[in-house]
């Protein structure tokens, strides 16, 4: 596996909309934000085709968009910069200040502006809850998995598919599109369907999309053969732990001359001291027993690999219990913790004072770690659009 281009795919931004005029949720699917990941485009097209063929009476609407069009057309992850970065507020402000038509402008600037415009339009015109599903594939082999911000709604959505969930990736990579949607209070998850060219990958994506439509109650019960979709995914998932969390990201630059050791798959268990990769400083070893995630076997990208560990379901129950009790509202009473005066959803923590309740505790309470702000750590609440509350009640 090298940085060579995968099959090029000429597509338009609008992959399709399926809308029978019935009120309900909006499912927004983005495929190919990385241009060497065309499997998602094929999958969402297959789902749209089937909806049309069977004339299924969808509640709400399915909107499918293609991500990085010029990168898809050349079969490369991106042309000038990774389009799945740069969705943080400061990065979007900088984007707005640049002229996408200026000579030498990144081709991704124009792509991102168009996508942002469509995202905003979809949110503005939504009459019910909105879910965003971002379809990806990876350069390593391994089972499919989901990446999501750990809100209760997101977790329910993810668990409904039976595909393993990887938590915490949005805290380690800066400004993925998932983060933008999470900040808008939208249900949001990324699906890693499998290796780019693996024959099962498109089917994995399709199965997840059908199960999401079912979970959102957008189709009448029985119209999706959900048992077959579940069986398909269960076979692909095998014995993978149901929920893992990222504990470390190994960031790289071109100057590092990073080379992943061959043979790692997603969820590959490694023991402390195992050599994972090499760079110009020598071997890179696992700091503890853990699982390897997203090892880089392609030329483009600034994530060398991630390390993860399984999360026991017990802690997830504790977390939702704490949130139901309203404890997150009380954290600003703790020493060394105060609310950000400019943003009620963010709290600032002085790590010198609040040494004993660290990142893990804030995670349990539903906070997401932001960047450092000087000597302080900033944590933000994950929140939901009020419309999302209608999802669990079967109002659709």
Per rule CB under 5 A, is residue 76 in the interface with Zn ion? no
Minimal distance, residue 77 CB to Zn ion, in Å:
7
Task: Let me know: does 266 contact 141? Beta carbons within 8 Å.
Answer: yes
Minimal distance, residue 315 CB to Zn ion, in Å:
28
Distance CA 315, CA 242 (A): 13
Beta carbons within 8 Å of 327's beta carbon, 6+ residues apart: 365
Q: Taken in order 127, 188, 28, 98, is the CA torsion positive or negative?
A: positive
Query: Which of these ranges, 8-16, 28-36, 98-106, 373-381, lies near Zn ion under the rule CB under 5 A?
Result: 28-36
> 86-125 mask for Zn ion (x: CB under 5 A)?
----------------------------------------
Q: Which is nearer to Zn ion, 44 or 391 (CB)?
A: 44
- Which residue's Cβ has the minimum distance to Zn ion? 136
Residue 37 gets which letter from DSSP? Answer: -
Triad 220, 211, 84: Cα angle to 5°: 130
**Could you give the C-alpha distances from 241 to 80, 286, 382, in angstroms and in order?**
36, 19, 24
Query: Which of these ranges, 3-11, 27-35, 173-181, 204-212, lies near Zn ion under the rule CB under 5 A?
Result: 27-35
Minimal distance, residue 135 CB to Zn ion, in Å:
8
The one among 18, 28, 29, 34 contacting Zn ion by CB under 5 A? 34
Site for Zn ion in 305-334 (CB under 5 A): none
Q: Which is nearer to Zn ion, 192 or 206 (CB)?
A: 192
Q: Which is nearer to Zn ion, 147 or 364 (CB)?
A: 147
In terms of phi and psi (left: phi > 0; alpha: psi -120 to 50; beta: otherwise), the region of 367 is beta
Triad 235, 239, 241: Cα angle to 5°: 120
Minimal distance, residue 146 CB to Zn ion, in Å:
13
Query: Which of these ranges, 85-93, 136-144, 210-218, 251-259, lies near Zn ion under the rule CB under 5 A?
Result: 136-144
Environment class of 124 (CB within 10 Å of its CB; exposed 0-12, middle 13-18, buried 19+): exposed
| Residue 340, beta-bridge partner list | 343
Comparing CA positions, the residue from 273, 271, 276, 324 lying closest to residue 297 is: 276
Minimal distance, residue 366 CB to Zn ion, in Å:
26
Minimal distance, residue 169 CB to Zn ion, in Å:
11
Q: Which is nearer to Zn ion, 45 or 136 (CB)?
A: 136
Distance CA 57, CA 52 (A): 10
Q: Which is nearer to Zn ion, 39 or 62 (CB)?
A: 39
Q: Greatest CA separation found in the chain?
A: 62
What DSSP string runs through 92-160? HHHHHHS-TTSTT--HHHHHHHHHHHHHHHHHHT-SS-EEEEEEEEESS----EEEE---HHHHHHHHT
Query: Which of these ranges, 35-43, 120-128, 349-357, 371-379, lies near Zn ion under the rule CB under 5 A?
Result: 35-43
Q: Which is nearer to Zn ion, 299 or 372 (CB)?
A: 299
Tell me, by CB under 5 A, how many residues bind Zn ion.
3
Q: Which is nearer to Zn ion, 298 or 388 (CB)?
A: 298
The one among 85, 136, 205, 215 contacting Zn ion by CB under 5 A? 136
Residue 263 gets which letter from DSSP? Answer: T
Minimal distance, residue 176 CB to Zn ion, in Å:
9
Judged by DSSP in three states, 44 sits in helix
Q: Which residues bind Zn ion (CB under 5 A)?
A: 34, 37, 136
């Amino acid at each position: 596996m090298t940085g060579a281009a995968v099959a090029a795919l000429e597509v338009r931004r609008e992959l399709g909309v399926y809308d029978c005029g019935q009120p309900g949720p909006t499912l927004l699917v983005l495929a190919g934000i990385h241009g060497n990941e065309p499997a998602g485009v094929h999958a969402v097209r297959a789902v749209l085709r089937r909806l049309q063929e069977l004339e299924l009476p969808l509640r709400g609407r399915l909107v499918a968009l293609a991500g990085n069009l010029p990168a898809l057309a050349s079969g490369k992850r991106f042309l000038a910069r990774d389009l799945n970065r740069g969705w943080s507020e400061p990065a979007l402000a900088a984007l707005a200040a640049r002229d996408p038509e200026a000579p030498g402008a990144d081709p991704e600037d124009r792509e991102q502006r168009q996508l942002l415009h469509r995202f905003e339009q979809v949110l503005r015109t939504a009459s019910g809850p909105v879910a965003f599903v971002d379809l990806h594939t990876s350069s390593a082999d391994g089972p499919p998995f989901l990446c999501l911000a750990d809100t209760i709604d997101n977790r329910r959505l993810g668990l409904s598919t039976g595909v393993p969930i990887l938590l915490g990736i949005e805290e380690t990579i800066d400004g993925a599109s998932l983060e933008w949607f999470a900040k808008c209070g939208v249900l949001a998850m990324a699906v890693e369907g499998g290796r780019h060219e693996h024959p099962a990958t498109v089917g994995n994506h399709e199965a997840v999309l059908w199960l999401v439509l079912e979970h959102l109650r957008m189709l009448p019960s029985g119209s999706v053969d959900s048992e077959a979709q579940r069986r398909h995914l269960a076979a692909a998932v095998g014995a993978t732990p149901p929920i893992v969390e990222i504990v470390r990201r190994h960031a790289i630059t071109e100057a590092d001359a990073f080379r992943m050791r061959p043979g790692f798959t997603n969820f590959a268990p490694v023991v402390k001291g195992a050599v994972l990769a090499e760079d110009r400083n020598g071997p890179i070893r696992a700091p503890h027993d853990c699982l390897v995630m997203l090892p880089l076997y392609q030329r483009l990208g600034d994530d060398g690999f991630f390390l993860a560990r399984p999360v026991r379901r017990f802690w997830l129950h504790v977390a939702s219990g704490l949130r139901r009790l309203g404890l997150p509202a009380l954290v600003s009473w703790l020493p060394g913790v105060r609310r950000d005066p400019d943003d009620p959803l963010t709290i600032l923590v002085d790590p010198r004072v609040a040494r004993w309740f660290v990142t893990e505790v804030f995670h349990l309470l539903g906070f997401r770690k932001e960047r450092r702000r000087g000597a302080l750590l900033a944590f933000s609440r994950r929140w939901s659009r009020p419309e999302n509350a209608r999802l669990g009640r079967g109002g659709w």
